[in-house]
Structure 1
Amino acid sequence: MLSNQSQLLARNLDLFEQGEWLIINPADAYFTDQLSDMPLEVLHQYFDVFSESVRVIHSHSMDTRDVSEDPSGFCVSQKVSKHLHTFAPFITGERRFSDVLIYIPKAKHQLKMLLTMAGSVLREGGRIHLVGENKGGIKSAAKLATDLGPAQKVDSARHCSLITIEVENTPVFRLEDWLDERTYQVDEFEWDIVSLPGVFSHTELDDGTRLLLSKLPNHLNGNILDFACGAGVIGSYLNKLQPHLKLTLLDVSALALFCAARTMQANGVTGQLLAANGLHGVDDKFSHIVTNPPFHTGVKTDYSITKRFISDAKRVLAKDGTLHLVANRFLPYPGLLAEHFSQVRPLAQTSQFSVYLSLK
């Protein structure tokens, strides 16, 4: 099914008739089917749409050392017809494009980073196109690109807008300009976090994760899964405190996995990275899952993510395994957890968050 953004683009297929195109972060796996006769490249920073685009079911894994030492990060490519789909945090290779289309993210600072990255791979006289939902930030997106060149609205429909920027000032993309490195603290314990715009826990430790970490047992054993790891805050905390643990850090975002690898490196610990759409295609067994899971699709609350994760969490937990989870209090986790786990205990609660322990 075409997203609203892609339905708007489908009204403007003549825009794609000429040039060499790169599409960044399409909101669905189906719009490119309408461009099947033209060669193009697609950069996916999110594994869910990538896997659907290339019909891949299973997750992809890599050691944290391999990602942290390679600026291209976690990179998987697959050709589908005339289209090259790549799952990676950044644009790789030396190819230059006449046009780059960005499906805008909800975080403005992430969009600014994507604009700089897109502009750096344009040919002279190239264009950047932005498509997004009106309430998702597209109306202010053109203001972020004023240093690149003039922008104009091309079309609007389905509560979305399409904007084209004629790039006159080609930027240089330097990763170090966007990386944020700082020290987080819980009680007396300190550890280092490396993050990028658009990655959960960027620039600060959120209160929910802080509460979760303060309630974790001091002695865990076996294989630990940091689900929706973001910048690797939970996994690096656990592994630095308990070096004997075998850590797996999972996220749908290539940017998050890249940051998690850098975070683990900064703390002198290692683990396994896993790119996956939730727990779909994950067959490993874990002794414990620790998570501050997402509950949004774009700007909308999406309970289907919660339901699917809880069901799959029980499947991948070993016998007598545990799930430690923090969530906003308004989310219906207690009832959903009780449907799948034999015991569910609240460990802590604030006016905003609750921490739950579930036993298989």
Structure 2
Amino acid sequence: MRSARLEMALESGAFVVPPEGDVVVLAPQAGDDLSALPKLRVVVLTGFKPDYDHFQRLGYRMDTARATAAVLCLPRAKAEALALIAQAFSLLPAGAPVLVDGQKTDGPEAVLKLACAAGIAHGEVISKAHGKAFVLRAGPAPAGWTAAPRRVAGGFVTRPGVFSADGPDRGSELLAAVLPDKIKGHVADLGAGWGYLARAILARQGVTSLDLVEADREALDCARENITDPRAQFHWADATGFKPARPWDAVVMNPPFHTSRAADPELGAAFIRAAHRGLLPTGTLWLVANRHLPYDRILTPLFRSVEDIGGDAAFRLIRAANPIRARL
């Protein structure tokens, strides 16, 4: 686990925390144990709202003024990992230590090789608990490492690390193609990402307002650039617990089904329950899901009408209408 490598790096002297200044921890996940660090000096930086809320509840500061060391929790996407290193370097004085940590599946060896090729000084490599950690010394970020927006099909802007950064995913394309022109009123896009489905929703003239709800701040920032329609309202929030100011006439969504890196159908189920809670009694849910996910057992007790409306070998398109309310 991450905490074991962090403790070993501190105890061995491979990672030395300076006596003053903040220790920035970039992109930790809920459940990561940071107790080996001096809590009063720790600042957590994350753009994923559930993780942000978790560490804020634990009493960590969530912004920094002057940092002298950093701990970086590697994501799996290489471009995102390099962008996080560049971000860490930008927050620190030259030569400050950055402990880079990741499970083997996060590719720490590949990141270390790139750092070596770029001439970045590094310390010993700590291997423990199916992962590796090593210290880099802050300096100018190598060319191309800083996160930069990119243009993809349709003229959309994305950034490294956001879901489907190279272009719209197949499930969203299928769902956008079957949305009827008759969608109207107050609509939600739960897990809106960088705005692909939102643009398709707002093409329906009967839509009066659209809540884009997204937990990834980078993705939501992209959506703000991609969607300039005044009917759109942007919410940095965990969709599974989001409560609309007023009920929705329709919800459109391509929910995630991974928690961290493990498949977790319950995450998609939580999105379905959130849609159910937020819809009017006459409301409709439009959903795309991987065919292997057992969503029927969630949808059937919650909606009076559930039907397949298309898809392909990998994806189901589902329309669920008229939420069932429990009788008190």
Establish whether TM, by shorter chain, passes 0.5: yes
Letter in 1 for 2:92: L
Letter in 2 for 1:84: R
Given the alignment, which residue of 84, 88, 102 partners 2:61? 84
- Give the CA deviation at 1:47: 0.6
Report the equivalent of 2:83.
113
Superposed counterparts of 1:209-358, under 5 Å: 209-242=172-205, 244-265=207-228, 268-284=229-245, 285-358=247-320
- The TM-score, its normalising length taken from structure 1, stands at 0.79
Task: List gaps (5 residues or longer) in structure 2.
Answer: 324-328
Question: 1-side partners of 2:223 and 2:139: how far apart?
Answer: 35
Question: 2-side partners of 1:98 and 1:252: how far apart?
Answer: 29
Letter in 2 for 1:42: V
Question: 2-side partners of 1:140 and 1:153: how far apart?
Answer: 15
Q: Residue 241 and residue 307 in structure 1: after superposition, are their counterparts in 2 closer, same or farther (change >3 A)?
A: closer
- Give the CA deviation at 1:353: 1.0
Q: Is 1:254–1:275's contact at 8 Å kept on the other side of the alignment?
A: yes
Question: 1-side partners of 2:307 and 2:129: how far apart?
Answer: 44
Question: 2-side partners of 1:148 and 1:179: how far apart?
Answer: 25
Q: Deviations over 1:259-288 (max 9, x none)?
A: 1111113xx445211122232142442111
Letter in 2 for 1:117: Q
Superposed counterparts of 1:27-38, under 5 Å: 27-28=29-30, 31-38=33-40
Letter in 1 for 2:302: H
Q: Residue 144 and residue 237 in structure 1: after superposition, are their counterparts in 2 closer, same or farther (change >3 A)?
A: farther
Q: Deviations over 1:38-79 (max 9, x none)?
A: 4132111111011122239xxxxxxxxxxxxxxxxxxxxxxx
Report the equivalent of 2:159.
196
**RMSD, aligned α-carbons:** 2.5
Q: Residue 304 and residue 158 in structure 1: after superposition, are their counterparts in 2 closer, same or farther (change >3 A)?
A: farther
Question: 1-side partners of 2:206 and 2:148: how far apart?
Answer: 30
Q: Give % identity.
A: 25
Question: 1-side partners of 2:176 and 2:231: how far apart?
Answer: 19
Task: List gaps (5 residues or longer) in structure 1.
Answer: 57-79, 87-92, 185-191
Report the equivalent of 1:136.
106
Letter in 2 for 1:164: V
Given the alignment, which residue of 51, 54, 64 partners 1:52? 54
- The TM-score, its normalising length taken from structure 2, stands at 0.86
Question: 1-side partners of 2:148 and 2:230: how far apart?
Answer: 23
Q: Deviations over 1:22-52 (max 9, x none)?
A: 1111112562344355413211111101112
Using CA pairs under 8 Å that are at least 6 residues apart, name the structure with larger relative contact order, 1 or 2: 1
Matched, 1:18 2:18: yes
Which is worse superposed, 127-136 or 30-39? 30-39
- Give the CA deviation at 1:321: 1.1
Which is greater in Rg? Answer: 2
Report the equivalent of 2:135.
164
- Give the CA deviation at 1:209: 0.7
Q: Is 2:18–2:69's contact at 8 Å kept on the other side of the alignment?
A: no
Question: 2-side partners of 1:111 and 1:201: how far apart?
Answer: 16
Question: 1-side partners of 2:29 and 2:252: how far apart?
Answer: 28
Letter in 2 for 1:297: T
Which is worse superposed, 138-147 or 42-51? 138-147
Q: Deviations over 1:235-276 (max 9, x none)?
A: 1222144374301111111111111111113xx445211122
